[in-house]
Every structure is written in C-alpha cells, then in structure tokens.
Chains A and B, each alone.
Chain A
Amino acid sequence: MRVAVELKGPLAVSRGEKHIILVVPPRATVRDVLIKLGLDEKHVGLLAINNVKVNLDSCLGEDVNLTVFPVVAGG
C-alpha cells in the first residue's frame, strides 16, 4: 500500500524532509510507519489519517495521508 506521510515541526526538521511516500504491507498500522521512519513514539503527538485523529494501532488504507504532529506543551 502507498502512504503519504507528512511530518510536522521538529519531526520534519530532524529527519530533513517533510513529505515522504512509503510503501507498506496490507494491514500495516500507524506504529509500523513510525518504526519504518525511525520515529520515537515518545516524541510523537497527534496522529491523523486524512485529517481524522487516529492512534498508533490504527490501520492504514490505500493511498491515505498520514500526518504526524510532535508532542506539544505550553500553549
């Protein structure tokens, strides 16, 4: 399956790229994508598939957009 990943803020800065296209196996989860990208879960905040909030165990679909926000504090 093809997944378009968008990394936000420092996650994009530390990886050096904001938009990434990944090919993942069927029934892959958000967690699988984070592992594949080498992202530490503790630095990851809100996750959204096609602008809908999801969690680490959510399954991805074909051609979805996964947005990964950093943890935020303050306000």
Chain B
Amino acid sequence: MPGYQGKILRINLTAGSSVVEKLNPKWAGLFLGGKGLGIKYLYEELAPGIDALAPDNKLILITGPFTGTVVPCSGKLSIVTKSPGTGTILDCSIGGTAAVELKRAGYDAVIIEGKAAEPVYLWIEDNRVEIKNAGECRGLGCHATENKLKEAHGEDSSVLSIGPAGENMVSFACISSELYRQAGRGGVGAVMGSKNLKAVAVRGTGGVLAADAAKLMDVAYNAFKNDLLTDTNLWAYTDGTPMLVELSQTTGILPTNNFQQGTFDAFNQIKSESVAAVRTAKKGCTSCGLGCGNFVRAGRSAVEGPEYETLSIAGSNCGIGSLEAIVEFNRLCDDLGLDTISAGGVTAFAMELTEKGIHDFGIRFGDVEKYLQVPGLIAAGDGLGKELARGVRALAQIYGGQDYAMQVKGLEFPGYDPRGSWGMGLAFATAPRGACHMSAWPAADEAYGELDPFTIEGKAGLVKDLQHYNAAKFSLILCDFWALSFDVMAEMLAALLGREITAGDLELAGERIFNLARLFNIREGFSSQDDVLPQRIYSQPLPSGATAGKTLPEADFKNMLAQYYSLRGWDESGQPGQDKLNLLGLR
C-alpha cells in the first residue's frame, strides 16, 4: 500500500496488551492521514460524553502518507484525542523524529487505550512492542525522562514524554520530544498522564513504499527547489517566528498585559534581532528543508526557542520584557511539560485579576521573580499553581473576570489580538479545538498583509478556505512553514500513491476533515453558542498603536459568523446541513 504501512498498533494499557490491525484503506483515502485520519478514528471509536481523563479516552499517535519519504518538511507526528481542557476534539502536531521512527517501525498509527495500574512507558522497535515499567522516571521532567530512555534504548531512538504536569493531569500539559519540541495545546500530556503512560520510545528500521519512487524523487526535488527554498518561506530559517513580534507590534496586535494593549513598550527586547543576538545554533525536524528552530542562550538559561507564541503570550502579555526571563520560563515549561501559550495566558489573567483587586494571586504584570515560579507551581499543583492549573476559563468561573478571560471553548488565546485582525477573531471562534492559530492564520493576509484588517468583508471565505487548506496540509503532515499550493501537494501525493489526485480532491478532503471535527464537537454538545469571543474583544478599544480605538464590534462579529456558516452550508446553530454532509461523504 504505497504511502502507508497498512498497519495500526493498538495498545490497551488496562490489559497490558497490544495488537496489530489493518489500516482502514477507505478512511485513509478520504481523510489522508495525520490530523484527518486521527479524527476519523476517534470519531468512530469514542463514545460521546466520556471524561477526557478517564481510561475510555484514546490517545492516537499518527503519521501521514509522506512521513518517512523524501518529501521535505514531512517529519511531524499528529496526536489526536479528546481534550481535557476543552472537551472538544483535539489534534496537535509535534516535530522531531518520532513520526519517522514510528512509520519505519511499520505502523501508520498507535491507538492507546485504557489505563495502566502503575507508571509505564511503551517501547516500540519494529515488530517488538513492550509495555515497560516507568517507575524510575516518575516525577522526572521531560528532559531527564528522554535522556534516561535514550540511554536505555539508544541515541537513535525517539522519545515522546510527559513531565510532572502531565503526571498531575494539568489541563494544559503537553507532550515533549527532542527536549524542546512539543505537542502543546489542549492537554494531550494530561491524557497521557491519565493513562499512567510516562513515555513512548520508538525506533524503526524499515522503509516506506512509493508507487513510483523515481517520480516521487523528481517531484519532491522540484518542490524543494522551486517551492520551498523561496523568499516566501526562508524567513522561517533566517529568523523563525520571533520575526512576528515586530510585525505584531507594528500592526497593533501584540498581546500585552492580558490583551489590555496591542503594543508593548519593551518590544525591542524580545523582537527577532534580540533573539538572534543570543542564538547559538539552528535546528530542524527530520526531513526539514527550512530549520525554523533557534537554540538560544540568555543568561543562565538555554532553550530551543522561544517561539513567537511564547514571546508574546508568556512575554509581552505578562508584561515581561526580559528575554532572559522568557527563555527561562520557556525552558521550565518544556521540562515540566506545560504548554507555554496556556501557561502564559493563565498567568496573565491571574496578574490582571490581582491588579484589578478581584482576587489576589500575589502576582502582577512584569513581576519576573513570581513569574518564574509559576511553571513549577502549576506542574506540582502547589498553592498558586493549583489555581492556575485549572486554566483561564475555570479560573474565571471561580473568581470572575469573564469579560477578559481570553479563551474560546476553554483554550487560551494565542498571540494575535482580533481587534486588529478581524478574521483572526473568526478563526479563533470557529477552530475545532478552541482559540487556535493553527486552524487558520488570516493575520498573515490582513494584519501583516494587504487586506483591510478592520472589516468583515471577505473574511468568512478567507477563514473557511484557510481552514480547509490547513486541514488537508496537516493531514498529509506537511510543515506549517511551507507555503505550498494544493497543486504541489497533489502532485507529490499522486507520485507517492500512484493514482491521480487533484488539487480539488485535497481541498475537498480538507473540508471533509474540518466538518468531521465539527461533528465531533456537536456530538459533545457544542454549538454556535460556543463560537464566541471574550467581551473584551467586542467592547474594549485598544489604547495605542495601529489599533488605537479599535474593537471587533459584536454585531460585526455575528454578521461575519453568519456569513461563515452560510458559506459552509451550515445552519444558524452551526450544524452542517444534510446536503453538505452528503457532498462530503459524511452521512
């Protein structure tokens, strides 16, 4: 079966068993792989309404058709589960080498079910699958866990692990690999922790079949030369995401002090040039052609990062202008196994609640000393950390501040203020996993691009199209930083699979996948009532910069949302219509 190994490894941790099953080829055709195929398996296998932290939930580690082939930027792994943070479908991707090792071991995916009685880790080496005792790793950070397992299984093995945050089931615990790569959002690490699964180590020695290897090589090389190494993509190498700090500052969408401002006085200290000044090396994932990763050393702390989302949400948004402090916060989160976006978001929210006198968490904007204590406290569930580990939505339900609880469906905002990028507001409101910049990123076209950011005109179509594009791209598992067309994706996939595939086929697959994620959420009780933004975005004007005086008025937002539903063939409650479902083959 070209492009696929045709095998799923199913692990039941309760029974301590593993079984190899056939991949459903029809589903692979319709949902491609990665994100899409993972969502399909979860949709079919998960009973509605289960507790995301109960043994009933499943954790799916899944590759794509290009994984392990010569296609560049195809080295990421998708992880799909039901989110404990939001209750929605959740898919994340993680860089590093785990996807390629898993595929070379002979599997398209691993579906992990149940719960082990004691902490365990999974060791996969080709046909050999073992559930091993992880007692020695209990309580260790991700870095020590990874080092320990690589010591046991070889430097060429790949390790996915959780830290204390995952073991303690913090709602925004992440999964880590290669020390500094994370499946960050929505609590995938908490699901792993709920199963008493400390890590997965994998090494594979096989290959991946291509229908026409020579043609695939030719097509992939041309794509690499003509579509990847271009001035449109190389910013990811020269600067990486820290470049977005200055772009956001200039356009007034840089979250500052829990989204009270869209500009940050100390932005110069955290912008790309400042990160580059402490950069020590570059790094990319397996098969990467770009190398977006920056290794930095700032003061006594070193990390791969910080990415823009960390610089903004855990930096300016917390009033922190010290790059050294942000790097250390980043390092702590990586090692403890916390998502830096949600950790930063909840910290900023606690800072504002404190400064407004609503509840004294003892932490204020710009307080570096307290700020650096937060990750450790959250991961351990101690004192202030026990409160913050609940996430922004839960914190607001307990203490108030709902209007400026910057989250959608329970997922904390990434680093773009929708008041200066109205399409981004729609993207946050409609992304299946909550406030997410990976489902669609219209900020590039409006705030950073030529489109008017302060209008709803054309935004519903833009967001819809971007959501389909990313759904298809992340199901094939191609890196976000490669701005390639549907045509190039289709050409490579056709060469790999040995059958005709058009750009239209992939666009339709993207729409199918996005709608299936919506159906999952509807089955869990979500509706249009959940496609909303915090009141601050609607009614509190930003005070400075290019967005001074701007809001995203609620009436405009609702109008944009209605246009979006209509374009999608969804009814007013956000439910896909029968015609649309028939067209997509989802009935």
Say yes or no: A46 contacts B250, CB within 8 Å. yes
Whether, in the assembled complex, B241 has its beta carbon less than 8 Å from a beta carbon of chain A, the answer is yes
Say yes or no: A75 contacts B546, CB within 8 Å. no
Known: A13-B234, A55-B450. A69 touches B247 (CB 8 A): yes
Smallest Cβ distance from A41 to chain B, in angstroms?
11
For window 519-547 of chain B, which residues contact chain A by CB distance below 8 Å?
546
Whether, in the assembled complex, A73 has its beta carbon less than 8 Å from a beta carbon of chain B, the answer is yes
B231, B236, B444, B449: most-surrounded residue (chain A CB, <10 A): B231
The chain A residue sitting closest to B232, CB to CB, is A71
Say yes or no: A14 contacts B247, CB within 8 Å. no
For window 41-74 of chain A, which residues contact chain B by CB distance below 8 Å?
42-43, 45-46, 48, 51-53, 55, 67, 69-74
| Contact partners of B438 in chain A: CB under 8 A | 75
Contact with B444, one of A10, A13, A42, A72 (Cβ below 8 angstroms): A72
Known: A10-B238, A46-B448. A51 touches B250 (CB 8 A): yes
Smallest Cβ distance from B104 to chain A, in angstroms?
26
Smallest Cβ distance from A75 to chain B, in angstroms?
4
Known: A55-B450, A71-B232, A74-B481. A8 touches B250 (CB 8 A): no
| Contact partners of B237 in chain A: CB under 8 A | 10
Whether, in the assembled complex, A11 has its beta carbon less than 8 Å from a beta carbon of chain B, the answer is yes
Known: A14-B231, A45-B448, A75-B480. A69 touches B251 (CB 8 A): no
The chain A residue sitting closest to B438, CB to CB, is A75
- We find that the number of chain B residues with CB closer than 8 angstroms to chain A is 34
For window 243-275 of chain B, which residues contact chain A by CB distance below 8 Å?
243-244, 246-247, 249-251, 272
Q: How many angstroms from the CA of A72 to the CA of B239 in the assembled complex?
A: 11
Contact with B236, one of A12, A13, A42, A74 (Cβ below 8 angstroms): A74
Smallest Cβ distance from B181 to chain A, in angstroms?
15
For window 467-497 of chain B, which residues contact chain A by CB distance below 8 Å?
479-483
Whether, in the assembled complex, B233 has its beta carbon less than 8 Å from a beta carbon of chain A, the answer is yes
Task: For chain A, give the interface size range.
Answer: 20 to 34
| Contact partners of B250 in chain A: CB under 8 A | 46, 48, 51-53, 67
Whether, in the assembled complex, B437 has its beta carbon less than 8 Å from a beta carbon of chain A, the answer is yes
Whether, in the assembled complex, B441 has its beta carbon less than 8 Å from a beta carbon of chain A, the answer is yes
| Contact partners of B221 in chain A: CB under 8 A | none
Q: How many angstroms from the CA of A30 to the CA of B237 in the assembled complex?
A: 26
Smallest Cβ distance from A54 to chain B, in angstroms?
10
Whether, in the assembled complex, B443 has its beta carbon less than 8 Å from a beta carbon of chain A, the answer is yes
Whether, in the assembled complex, A26 has its beta carbon less than 8 Å from a beta carbon of chain B, the answer is no
| Contact partners of B236 in chain A: CB under 8 A | 74
Q: What 1/0 flags go to B423-464 for Cβ under 8 Å of A?
A: 000000000000001100101100011100000000000000
Known: A53-B546, A75-B244. A69 touches B448 (CB 8 A): yes
Smallest Cβ distance from B470 to chain A, in angstroms?
10
Smallest Cβ distance from B540 to chain A, in angstroms?
22
Whether, in the assembled complex, B295 has its beta carbon less than 8 Å from a beta carbon of chain A, the answer is no
Majority SS at the chain A contact face: mixed
Q: How many angstroms from the CA of A40 to the CA of B234 in the assembled complex?
A: 15
Whether, in the assembled complex, B224 has its beta carbon less than 8 Å from a beta carbon of chain A, the answer is no
Q: How many angstroms from the CA of A75 to the CA of B247 in the assembled complex?
A: 12
Whether, in the assembled complex, B235 has its beta carbon less than 8 Å from a beta carbon of chain A, the answer is yes
Known: A45-B449, A53-B251, A69-B247. A75 touches B231 (CB 8 A): no
Say yes or no: B235 contacts A72, CB within 8 Å. yes
Q: What 1/0 flags go to A13-54 for Cβ under 8 Å of B?
A: 110000000000000000000000000101101101001110
Q: How many angstroms from the CA of A40 to the CA of B230 in the assembled complex?
A: 12
The chain A residue sitting closest to B479, CB to CB, is A74
Smallest Cβ distance from B43 to chain A, in angstroms?
27
Say yes or no: A46 contacts B243, CB within 8 Å. no
Q: How many angstroms from the CA of A53 to the CA of B450 in the assembled complex?
A: 10
Contact with B247, one of A42, A46, A52 (Cβ below 8 angstroms): A46
Known: A51-B250, A70-B231. A8 touches B483 (CB 8 A): no
Say yes or no: B480 contacts A70, CB within 8 Å. no
| Contact partners of B443 in chain A: CB under 8 A | 75
Known: A72-B247, A75-B438. A52 touches B444 (CB 8 A): no
Q: How many angstroms from the CA of A75 to the CA of B415 in the assembled complex?
A: 10
Say yes or no: B244 contacts A46, CB within 8 Å. no
| Contact partners of A10 in chain B: CB under 8 A | 231, 234-235, 237-238
Smallest Cβ distance from A10 to chain B, in angstroms?
4
| Contact partners of B449 in chain A: CB under 8 A | 45-46, 71
Q: How many angstroms from the CA of A53 to the CA of B547 in the assembled complex?
A: 11
A11, A48, A70, A75: most-surrounded residue (chain B CB, <10 A): A75
Q: How many angstroms from the CA of A13 to the CA of B239 in the assembled complex?
A: 11
B residues within 8 Å of A by Cβ?
A: 230-239, 241, 243-244, 246-247, 249-251, 272, 308, 437-438, 441, 443-444, 448-450, 479-483, 546
Q: Which 10 A-B pairs have the closest CB atoms?
A: A73-B483, A43-B231, A10-B234, A74-B481, A74-B480, A9-B235, A75-B441, A9-B238, A70-B235, A9-B239
A residues within 8 Å of B by Cβ?
A: 8-14, 40, 42-43, 45-46, 48, 51-53, 55, 67, 69-75
Given A8-B246, A14-B231, 18 extra CB contacts under 8 A: A8-B243, A9-B243, A10-B237, A12-B238, A43-B231, A45-B448, A46-B448, A48-B250, A53-B250, A70-B235, A71-B232, A73-B483, A74-B480, A74-B483, A75-B241, A75-B308, A75-B437, A75-B443
**6 A-B pairs with C-beta separation under 8 A:** A9-B238, A9-B243, A10-B238, A69-B243, A74-B483, A75-B444
